[in-house]
Amino acid sequence: MNRPIWLEAAINGPWSRDLQPGIPVTADEIYEDAIACAEAGAAILHFHAYDHETKRQRDDYDIYAPIIERIRNRVDVICYPTIPFAGSVDAPVPLSPQERFAAVEKLLERGLIEWAVVDPGSTNLTRYDGIPDRQIGFVYANPEPHIRYGLDLAQRHQITPSYAIYEPGFMRLGAALHAAYPGTPNPIYRLMFSNDIAFGFPPKDWALDAYQALMSQEAPGAHWMIAGLGVDVEPIMEATVARGGHVRVGLEDARFHCPHDNRALVKRAQARIEAAGGHLATTAEVRAALKGR
């Protein structure tokens, strides 16, 4: 087979070091981890900006832009930010679509990004280990006007929407809304699994099959990858490669208190991808595939 497999590294996420001690937080740490992952073979990099003082996520253009510029000056990768994790401790107050996408919009105006997070749905996120102690999770909220705002940006700027598919309904709504924005680049469907959080499916082959069956109906031929939160996707990597999918790893997605660093997770994924008969795609190959070449 030897098919090119896209490998994305999501290097920190919203967790802070309480849940994921190894994540990069400062600008220099994020840059260094990003370069290490790119040099290890990741063609796509995703990160969350952190406030230097509080060490918590803060989605600010003035934090994102210098880091992305440094990364792009060193390596040719697809590098993209997040949007506020609405409903979480870092974004507990409802924000307007314009507020949530403010940093993304400025990055687009500067020509610094070619992908953007547009998550097509809302879901409860509750950790299994907190349920016995009555720890309350939160609703990750993406109201339809927010999804449409993100798709409008993608349409106007011709960038790729990155869809996180937490539940099957995300796929159905995401595909239907994408069709309402003619000419918008096709989304990447990021199938989200979890071991540690009570949403969606666990990382099992039967769950992969269920998502594939739904995708064949709602978004036939779409590009997709496995990912998640609080998850180990290694057991389904070989099946993913065999079924035509791609892979995301990193300390944003990994099980909490992961003992590995981001570079190690990239190298572990590379070994499994190659064992399954694939090889790591270059950034140029990812861009060409998105353009249908």
- How far is it, in rounded angstroms, from Cα 266 to Cα 151? 30
Q: Return the CATH number at 186.
A: 3.20.20.70
pTM for the complete prediction? Answer: 0.96
| Distant-in-sequence, close-in-space partners of 273: CB < 8 Å, separation ≥ 6 | 5, 7, 237, 241, 247, 279, 280
Q: How many domains does the chain have?
A: 1
Q: Which two tokens stand for residue 42?
A: 């990741």
Residues 16, 88 contacting (CB under 8 angstroms): no
pLDDT of residue 90: 80
DSSP 190: E
Averages of pLDDT over runs of 10 residues in the chain (293 residues) are: 92 94 97 98 97 89 97 97 88 92 97 97 96 93 98 98 98 98 97 98 98 97 97 98 97 98 98 97 97 71
**Owning domain of residue 121:** 3-290
The DSSP line for 187-245 is PEEEEEE-SSBSSSB-S-HHHHHHHHHHHHHHSTT--EEEEESS---GGGHHHHHHTT-
Contact between 286 and 43 under an 8 Å Cβ cutoff? The reply is: yes
Q: What is the pLDDT of residue 293?
A: 47
H/E element holding 123? strand 123-125
Quote the pLDDT of residue 1: 62
Output the pLDDT for position 23.
97
Q: Cα separation of 196 and 65, whole Å?
A: 32
